[in-house]
Structure 1
Amino acid sequence: MNTVPLEDQLKQFGLSEKEIQTYLTILEHGEAKASTIADDTGVSKRYVYSICEELEERGFVDVDDHIVPTKIQAKPPQEVIEMLSSQLEDIEPVLQQRYSETSSRPQRFDVIKSRVTVIKRLREYIKSAEQELVIAVPEGYLPEVAEQLGAAIDRGVLVLLLISDVDDPEHVLDGIDRPVGSVIRTWQLGMPVLLAVDEQLGIASPAEMVSRANSDDRAIAIVQGQIVPIIASSFLANYWPFAQQHSVVDPVELPTTYRSFRHATLQATLHNKTEATVHVQATAQPVDTDDPFTTLEGTVVETRQGMVEPRTNTIPIEHTIIVETDEGTVSVGGPDSFLEDYEARKVTLERP
């Protein structure tokens, strides 16, 4: 068997030539004494012990030093592949974060002068949503974007929908024949049209831009990862808490994985309300550190959020999952958290 390509591939995982040579020798034997490995590789037995300790720490072999002579056993290749795959999955959120920060999507600020363009851009941005969106729209113009909101719900996107200028909350969805929001709230007052999608795309418009065809007002469409989260935060802090809760989706079937932390928090909250035990597995990093992302596991004991009633957070932007781990209770938040112990990039909720 030609092992040159395999050696090159193993080098990509940080193994030195001597470590690779030793590991492949152990693989061929399945299990061997240090002296046998030393003879086959041409290195000292003491060096074999040192290399095998490194290989054991990396998860490639098991060193049984409870017997004499010490035996080194190769782990089944399937276990090694699963271990390496897990390591790659753990760094994926970090790579994704760095990629998002320098995304090829051009940053843009567009001034919109017509109602038709506002509606067109709303539809376009909603259609592109992959993880979450928050939107405030007048009741009279909900039908203009209902199809796109419904499609987003079908894709598994978190949709926080606030319908403004509502006369009769009980009939606000009359004529809409599909779910258009994960959580829907209504408000009798008028308010700006707001949209924030995946913390990348945003729209802010005076209500008159969509309610009057000849309005002299102007709207703005934003493609900017630093500004759009401000729109979402303003929405959640200044409007959402004062609107009346209209409807909430049912808890989804678990297990489910989320990259939107707010979505994970919502579903953990809904399952907690049914008194179900929910296990969480999060790719997380301690807040305000350069520590690597690791897998944090435990049981959800509480959530702090303001998406559904009753509100349990202390400030509107707080969305937190409290997790009981083997090491104790910790708080987990989304990217760029500062209130919690950990910030998470990916969260899986499952029944134990």
Structure 2
Amino acid sequence: MTDDLRGTLERVGDRFNLGEYEIDAYLAVLEHGELTASEIADRTDIPQPRVYDTVRSLSDRGLVELRESRPMKIVAVDPDDAFGEIQTSFEQLVDELEARYTAPARETEAVSLVKSRSTILRYLEEVIESAEYELAVSLTPDLLRRFEDLLAAKVDAGVSVELLVTPAKRAPNPAEYDYLSVATIARARRGITTPVLAVGDGSYSVYATQDAIRDDQERYGVIFNRSALGFLVSGFFGTVLWTTAETLAADGKERPFPRRYASIRRAVKDVRELDGDFFATVEGRDIESGDPVTVQGSVVDVAFEDSEEVASLVVETDAGERVEIGGRVAALEDVEGQEIVIGRDEPPAL
């Protein structure tokens, strides 16, 4: 550490290292502009014998002036003058410390539990920012405003964004708010019981209660750090939250083909809603052997329930084999689709 940086740290620390008596005395003088030692004692819990030492300490720090009169007057210094220099030093200190900062290694555990509001918010931002092709988010109106620019950038980059705003009664009015600038489709759901969450590309996700975002009191968030377990949050979002929400805006910016999907549900919905021929390349695993499988061919059929709890597609390979593709933890289909790419003219490359 350089001598200049150490000196700045010492100056900042000294200026703010105020004891209880010093804080009480300083606030009393600030409120009245000018007081005597006796008046400070009357207005605070500072014992009379300690008042003089206390105000001299404040004077040494440049926070008050002592006017030698009978009785002595303690006069408040304008805070702009008192803290102007230290404010500049503090800003310089932060810049220098930031330059020296080495980010700690990120936790690599598949699942992490966090209890800090700031950490939950940091992970929410990171999950949103990391999404390359598919993003599902459940946000309060305040969080929507916080991440508005980031969501808009994802939409502009061609990411499919499903946005859920909760509680519904506080959601911005669709007549006044451009939901399609921040989402491909937006819905609102009643109740503060709806969690806050984000899932990027089906794997990196964060789940937290609204309480954890509001007051940070004995609440929690769960991080699935690019883990296959992220499908739990994605599945909960798609089948429990999304299906019980009311549509605010739909048919947002059209994404070009080929399109990548982490969710079979989203892939099937696009195939059902758009006309023409589709081709698919799917990476996954055989549901009986667990062996890795890559399936390529034309999409010849889809299955989809309005509840969105069941979704699958059938791909016919060049060899004429029909393979039924399901989503994560598929059991009824032939293949668990882990990454799906849908194209228009031929089976797309992964």
Q: Same fold (TM over 0.5)?
A: yes
Q: Which moved more, 1:320-329 or 1:145-154?
A: 320-329
Distance in 1 of aligned mates of 2:138 and 2:250: 16
The offset of 1:207, in angstroms, is: 0.8
* CA deviations over 1:163-200 (Å, ceiling 9, x no partner): 11122767158445752222221113222212222343
Alignment correspondent of 2:330: 337
Distance 1:146 1:117, change over 3 A: same
Which protein shows a greater Rg?
A: 2
**Contact 2:296 / 2:315 at 8 angstroms: preserved in 1?**
no
1:210 aligns with 2:183: no
The alignment partner of 1:171 has SS state of coil
Alignment of 1:177-256 (within 5 A): 179-190=181-192, 191-212=194-215, 215-223=217-225, 225-249=227-251, 252=254, 255-256=257-258
**Contact 1:250 / 1:270 at 8 angstroms: preserved in 2?**
no
**Contact 1:320 / 1:331 at 8 angstroms: preserved in 2?**
yes
Alignment correspondent of 1:160: 162
Distance in 2 of aligned mates of 1:188 and 1:297: 42
Alignment correspondent of 1:347: 341
The alignment partner of 1:268 has SS state of helix
Alignment correspondent of 1:288: 288
The offset of 1:156, in angstroms, is: 2.7
1:270 aligns with 2:273: yes
RMSD: 3.3
Distance in 2 of aligned mates of 1:178 and 1:245: 12
Alignment correspondent of 2:278: 279
TM-score scaled by structure 1? 0.56
Alignment correspondent of 2:301: 301
Alignment correspondent of 2:139: 137
Distance in 1 of aligned mates of 2:145 and 2:248: 17
Unaligned stretches of 5+ residues in structure 1: 1-103, 306-310
Alignment correspondent of 2:312: 320
Distance in 2 of aligned mates of 1:136 and 1:351: 34
The alignment partner of 2:135 has SS state of strand
* CA deviations over 1:92-135 (Å, ceiling 9, x no partner): xxxxxxxxxxxx98125141323x43323211221011232222
Alignment correspondent of 1:99: none
Distance 1:187 1:290, change over 3 A: closer
The offset of 1:256, in angstroms, is: 1.1
The alignment partner of 1:347 has SS state of strand
Distance in 2 of aligned mates of 1:295 and 1:224: 24
Q: What residue identity is the alignment partner of 1:198? A: D
The alignment partner of 1:232 has SS state of helix
The alignment partner of 2:147 has SS state of helix
* CA deviations over 1:253-290 (Å, ceiling 9, x no partner): 6641424343432321221xxxx122213245654246
Unaligned stretches of 5+ residues in structure 2: 1-105
Distance in 1 of aligned mates of 2:116 and 2:175: 29
Q: Residue 152 of structure 2 is aligned with which of 142, 145, 150?
A: 150
The offset of 1:248, in angstroms, is: 2.5
The alignment partner of 2:288 has SS state of coil
* CA deviations over 1:23-79 (Å, ceiling 9, x no partner): xxxxxxxxxxxxxxxxxxxxxxxxxxxxxxxxxxxxxxxxxxxxxxxxxxxxxxxxx
Distance 1:139 1:254, change over 3 A: closer
Distance 1:178 1:247, change over 3 A: closer
The alignment partner of 1:119 has SS state of helix
**Contact 2:165 / 2:171 at 8 angstroms: preserved in 1?**
no
Q: What residue identity is the alignment partner of 2:119? A: T
Q: Residue 123 of structure 2 is aligned with which of 80, 102, 121?
A: 121
Alignment of 1:7-18 (within 5 A): none
Alignment correspondent of 2:78: none
Distance in 2 of aligned mates of 1:219 and 1:290: 31
Q: Residue 260 of structure 2 is aligned with which of 258, 261, 266?
A: 258
Identity of aligned residues (%): 19
Distance 1:278 1:254, change over 3 A: farther
- Number of residue pairs the alignment of both structures matches: 235
